[in-house]
Structure 1
C-alpha cells in the first residue's frame, strides 16, 4: 500500500526528534548540554525500536509510491547504523567538549547534525528510487560537510571541509548525471521499473553504459575507493577526530546499501559491465591503500588508507555475486557474495569506531593523539586498552580469530566460487602487505618506551563501551555464525522481493 506509513515510522521519529532537540537545545545553558547528549542517544534508541519491530516482522513493504522500501536488509543495516552512531557519540563527548565544539548558543549543532546525517543514511538504505537514494545521500553529505568545518577557528579543519565539499559536490554531480542518463534510457526513476524495462522492453545499451560509468564514479567517491579516494586521507586528518569517525563509520553501511540497491536491484542485466568496473576499482584500492599506508606516520592518515583498502574487499564481495553475462549468468553465488560484503561492511564499521575511540581516549585538551609516536608504550600506561587496540588492529589485518578474519574469509570464499582465483590471490597478497602497518601500531604500543607517562583520564561510559567494543570484535570472530547467518537471511529476503 502506498499510504502505509508504518515502514517509515523510524524516519519520521528521527526527523521529529532531531527537530525537537534542535529547539530544546536553544534554551539550554552550556552547563546543561548533557541533556542534549542524552536526548540524542534516546532518539537513536527510539528509531532502533521501530526498525527492530519492522525487522522482526520479516516483511518487505513498499510505501510512498514504491519510492521507499522496508526489508530485512534495510532494517538490519539501520540497526547497526544506530549502534555505530551511538557508540561514536559516547566516544566523542569528552573530545568535543575539550575542543569547544559543544560550547556557545549553537553547541548542540554537533548532536543535531549527527541525527540529520543519520536520517540521510536511513533514507539511503531504504531507497527504492534513484531519486530517494540521491536525496538521502545529499542530506547525509550536507550534514557532514558542516560538521567537518565545525571548528571554525581551526585552519586545518576548514581546509579539509573545503576539499570535502568541492570534491563531494563534484561526485554528486557525477551521480546525478548518471541517473539522468539511466532515466533517459528507461523513462523511469524506480529501481524495480528500471529492471523490468531493461529486461522486457530493452533500452539503449550505450546510453545505459555511459550512465552506469557516472553512477559508479559517484558511488566510488562515497565509498572512498581508488581513483576517487583523494579526499579521504586529507579529510580524515583535517577533520576533528569525532567527525572523522562520523565520516568513516556508519556512512559506509549506507554507501554499501546504495551500491546494492542501484547495481544489484536496479541494473542486474548490466552486471557484466559494472563487474568489470568494480574489479578495477577493487584491485586499485587494495594496491594503493595498502602500499601507501606503509609510509604513514599520522595514524588518522594511516587509517584513511586502510579504509580505502578495506572498501576494496567490499567491492570484491559485490562483484562476485553473478558469474557470466545476460541470460547465461549463474546467479547461485548472489546471496553468499552480497551477504559476505554486508558482513564485511558491518565488521569494518564496528572495528573502526573502536579504533578512533581509542585515538580520542588518548587525546586531551590541546593535544591530538594523531601520530604513531603518541601510542608509544601504551601497554605501560593502560595495559587493558593496549589489548583492546591490539585486538582491533589484528581484526583490520585479518588475523584469526578476530572478526576481520572471518569477514575476509567470507569474501574470499565468494570470489573463489566465481572461479576468479587470481583475484583472491591478489587480495590475499595485498592483505599480507597491509598487515605490516597494523602490526607496526602493535609494536609501538608494546615494545616502545612511552613518550608521555601522564595518566589517561577517561569517562566511565567511554571505558565501558570501548571494552565492550573490543570484546565484541573477538566474540563475533570466534562465533561468527549468528551474524553471518543473519546477513545471509536478510540478503535472500531482499533479493526475493
Structure 2
C-alpha cells in the first residue's frame, strides 16, 4: 500500500516531470526566437523545485518510501537543490549562445535539460539497483540528445555518437556488476545488500568480481582514467552550452550514486574498492594534468582538468575506512570533504564556462586559448572572473578550490596510513604541475595583445549571475565553514540510517 510518505518523498520529482511535459506543450505556441515564454516558465519551475529541495534538506529528516526503493535524506536533498540551481545558472548562460546558433528552434534545450535533471533526482534518491539504472539511463539518454542538438553541425554529431557508444558500454559494465551483486546477495535493495555482505555468508570472490564492474561503471560517469576517453572529445565537440551542462550538475549525481553504492551498500568491501579508487585517482592525476599541458583548445584543456579534479573526489572517498575499521570521525571527514569538493568544483566550472559562452557570442566559437588574448583590456570584469576560477581550480589560496583540496588532503593524512600520506604528497605534486596550464591562460588574458578591439557585451541577467557566481568562488574560499558544516551534517545524517 502506498502511503502519504511515499508521495511526499517524490513531490519535487512529480513537479519537475509534470512541468517538463507542460513546457513541451506550451512551447508549441511560443513564437519568440529566444523562446522567452518557455525560458521564464522553465526558470520558475526550477526555482520552485530548488526551494522544495532546500526545505526538505533543512528539515534534516530521513525517510524511505516506495518499498524502500527511494530514500529522502539531507545529503540527497542538498545535492538535488545544488543540481537544480546549477541547471538554472547554465540556462541563463546558455540561452543567448543557443539562440545565436539556431538551437532554440524548438524548446528541446529546456525540456531535455529538465528531463536530464529528473534523471539526476532519481539517481540521487535511489536506494535500489533498478532505480539507480533507471535514473542513470534517463540522464544519459537526455545528455546524448543535448550533445546532438546542433543537428547540422558534424562535430557535435560526432561527439554525440562517441558519447552514445562509450556510454552504452559503461552502462553495460554497471548493469553487469549490479546483476552479479544481486545474484550473490539475492536482493536489489541497497540496505539488504549491505546486511547480506556484512553477515559474511557470501563468497568474497563473487562480490569482488561484481564490484570491479560497478566501479568501472562509476568511473566512466565521473570521467576518470582509464574510462576518460569520452571526456575531451565530448567537451570539445558538444555545443559549449551543453558542455557546461555535462561538466557541472551530473557530477553531483555521480557522487551521490557512488556514495549510495559503495558506502551505503558495499562498505564491508571498502578494503577492496578503496584500492581500486586509489589506482583510478593516481592515473587521473597523472594523465589529466600532463595531457592538459599539451592542449591549445580551451574546452579540451578544461576536460583534462576535470579528469584531474575528479581524482581529488576519489581521494576523499577512499580515506573513510582505515585498516577495515569504520571510524565515525574519519568517515565524516572523508566523505564530507569529497562532497564539498564536488559542490565547489561545479560552482567554479559554471563560472569558467560562463565566460567562454559570453565570448562565443561574438559570432565565433571562443574555444582556443588564444581567443582569450588581451581579455583584461576588453573587459576587466570577465577577465577577473575567469582568473578567479582558474586560480581556484589550481588550488591557490584564498579561493574555494584551495580549501576543497586542503580538506581532502587533511582527510587522507589524518588516516595515518603510509599509502594515504604518499597519495597526498603525489596529489600536491600533480597540482603544482597542473598550476602551469591554468596560469598560462591567465597570462594570455592579462599580458598578450588582444586579437580584436571589440568590447564584450552580455544581457543583464548573464552579467548579474556571472558576477555572483565569480564572487561566490572567492567568498566561499574566505568563509568555507558554513558549506563545509552543511556537507558534514548531510553526510552524518545520510550514513546514520
Q: Does 1:476 align with 2:476?
A: yes
Task: Give the C-alpha shift of residue 441 in structure 1.
Answer: 0.6
Of residues 22, 37, 40, the one that matches 1:38 is: 40
Aligned to 1:340: 337
Q: Contact (CA 8 Å) 2:43, 2:88: kept in 1 or not?
A: yes
Aligned to 1:169: 168
Q: Does 1:82 align with 2:81?
A: no
Aligned to 2:436: 436
Aligned to 1:248: 247
Aligned to 1:371: 368
Cα separation, partners in 2 of 1:280 and 1:191, compared to 1, 3 Å: same
Task: Give the C-alpha shift of residue 329 in structure 1.
Answer: 4.8
Task: Give the C-alpha shift of residue 332 in structure 1.
Answer: 3.5
Q: TM-score, normalised by structure 1?
A: 0.98
| SS of structure 2 residue aligned to 1:263 | helix
Task: Give the C-alpha shift of residue 31 in structure 1.
Answer: 3.9
Counterparts of 2:397 and 2:437 in 1: how far apart (Å)?
17
| SS of structure 1 residue aligned to 2:323 | coil
Aligned to 1:407: 404
The Cα RMSD (Å) is: 1.1
Aligned to 2:147: 148
Aligned to 1:388: 385
Q: Contact (CA 8 Å) 1:7, 1:54: kept in 2 or not?
A: no
Counterparts of 1:32 and 1:135 in 2: how far apart (Å)?
32
Q: Which structure 2 residue ranges, 5 or more long, are not aligned? A: none
Q: Contact (CA 8 Å) 1:322, 1:332: kept in 2 or not?
A: no
| SS of structure 2 residue aligned to 1:227 | coil
Cα separation, partners in 2 of 1:276 and 1:376, compared to 1, 3 Å: same
Counterparts of 1:31 and 1:389 in 2: how far apart (Å)?
30
Counterparts of 1:493 and 1:225 in 2: how far apart (Å)?
28
Counterparts of 2:365 and 2:15 in 1: how far apart (Å)?
36
Mapping for residues 41-440 of structure 1, pairs under 5 Å: 41-103=43-105, 107-200=106-199, 202-325=201-324, 328-364=325-361, 366-419=363-416, 420-440=420-440
Q: Contact (CA 8 Å) 2:34, 2:104: kept in 1 or not?
A: no
Q: Contact (CA 8 Å) 2:50, 2:81: kept in 1 or not?
A: yes
Bigger Cα displacement from structure 2, 330-339 vs 292-301: 330-339
Q: Contact (CA 8 Å) 2:33, 2:104: kept in 1 or not?
A: no
| SS of structure 1 residue aligned to 2:35 | helix
Task: Give the C-alpha shift of residue 331 in structure 1.
Answer: 4.9
Task: Give the C-alpha shift of residue 48 in structure 1.
Answer: 1.3
Bigger Cα displacement from structure 2, 242-251 vs 195-204: 195-204
Task: Give the C-alpha shift of residue 202 in structure 1.
Answer: 2.0
Structure 1 ranges of 4+ moved more than 4 A: 328-331
Q: Aligned residue pairs: how many?
A: 492
Counterparts of 1:295 and 1:404 in 2: how far apart (Å)?
23
Q: Contact (CA 8 Å) 2:356, 2:366: kept in 1 or not?
A: yes
Counterparts of 2:50 and 2:329 in 1: how far apart (Å)?
33
Task: Give the C-alpha shift of residue 92 in structure 1.
Answer: 0.2
Counterparts of 1:479 and 1:52 in 2: how far apart (Å)?
21
Aligned to 2:454: 454
